[in-house]
Amino acid sequence: WSKTGHRVTGQIAQNHLTGKAKRALNDLLDGHSLAFVSTYADDIKADRAYSKYSPWHYVNYPLGMHYVDSEKSEYGDIITAIEECKTKIKDKNTPREERVFYLKMLIHFIGDLHQPMHASRAEDKGGNDIQVQWFGQGSNLHKVWDQNLIESYGMTYTELAHELNKVSKKEVKKMQEGTIYDWVDESHTICGELYDSVKVGEKLGYQYAYNYNDLLFEQLQKGGLRLAKVLNDLFD
């Protein structure tokens, strides 16, 4: 996702933390919100010293395959990244500064895991090579899902998170079910459907935004609720 997507995910998660997780996070993040730190992993991309973390934002494997059966990248992927972050945070010997680093990375990666084009295929770099037009401007399928769709609402991340707050306890529980291995395959399946939703060079606008409104909101919702689940499990 772009900044807004990550912040929505962070804000939703913030509303579903246990008291214990809230206190642990407040201490580690020096009082900053999950929304505030959620974009850190993108901000450090500009610094070459952090280039090894770039492949950690996504995973590509053949459509129709499960993540566990796929050939893994030697540079790591979003799933190995999440596991590494969880291990470092749990390890009592991890220095505080490092624990904070991996926590901020984890908060970001759970968000990206729910952007369908981040559990994608390698041929077109997760849709980055599929050029389309968005309201007459050059874009690509990846960017449509990272940014264009969300921005088309013209709402702030707090407004968007507020819209997604009307969800029952039962629905929350349901959406928090599963593991990151289930969640990545779920995103990957959606990704396959999204490839079929466009033709190269297609002019996208209101109709596309309308068609995918519910799916976009569901992915943001799931990202937020599942981030809360991952953090509650880590700190509770």
> Coil, strand, or helix at residue 157?
helix
Residue closer to ligand ADE, measured from CB, 25 or 223: 223
**The two three-digit tokens of residue 204, written as one number:** 């996208």
Residue 104 binds to Zn ion (criterion: CB under 5 A): no
Window contacting Zn ion (CB under 5 A); options: 19-27, 54-62, 64-72, 127-135: 54-62
CA triple 17-225-57, angle to 5 deg: 110
User: Of 111 and 126, which CB lies nearer to ligand ADE in the complex structure?
Assistant: 126
Instruction: Tell me the backbone φ, ψ of residue 30, rounded to 5 degrees.
Output: 50, 40
Residues 111-130 that bind Zn ion (CB under 5 A): 112
Q: Which is nearer to Zn ion, 24 or 152 (CB)?
A: 152
Hey, what amino acid is at 1? W
By CB under 5 A, tell whether 77 contacts Zn ion.
no
Whichever of 28 and 63 has its CB closer to ligand ADE, that residue is 63
Q: Beta-carbon neighbour count of residue 195 at 10 Å?
A: 17
125 contact, one of Zn ion, ligand ADE, none, CB 5-8 Å limit per kind:
ligand ADE
- In the bound complex, which residue of the shown chain has the CB atom lying closest to ligand ADE? 126
Instruction: For residues 111 and 114, give the distance between their C-alpha atoms in angstroms, rounded to a whole number.
Output: 6
Count of helices and strands (H, E) across the chain: 13, 5
Q: Which is nearer to ligand ADE, 41 or 164 (CB)?
A: 41
Looking at the chain, how many residues does it have? Answer: 236
Which residues make Cβ contacts (< 8 Å) with residue 163, sequence separation at least 6? 155, 217
Q: Do the strands 59-60 and 137-140 form a parallel or antiparallel pair, or are they unpaired? A: unpaired
- 164-223: which residues touch Zn ion (CB under 5 A)? none
Q: Are 174 and 226 in contact (CB under 8 A)?
A: no
Region near Zn ion per CB under 5 A, out of 53-61, 93-101, 186-194, 228-236:
53-61
Q: Which is nearer to Zn ion, 14 or 140 (CB)?
A: 140
The residue at minimum Cβ distance from Zn ion is 57
**Interface positions with ligand ADE (CB under 6 A):** 57-58, 60, 117-118, 120, 125-126, 128
146 binds Zn ion (CB under 5 A): yes
- Contacts to Zn ion by CB under 5 A: 57, 112, 146
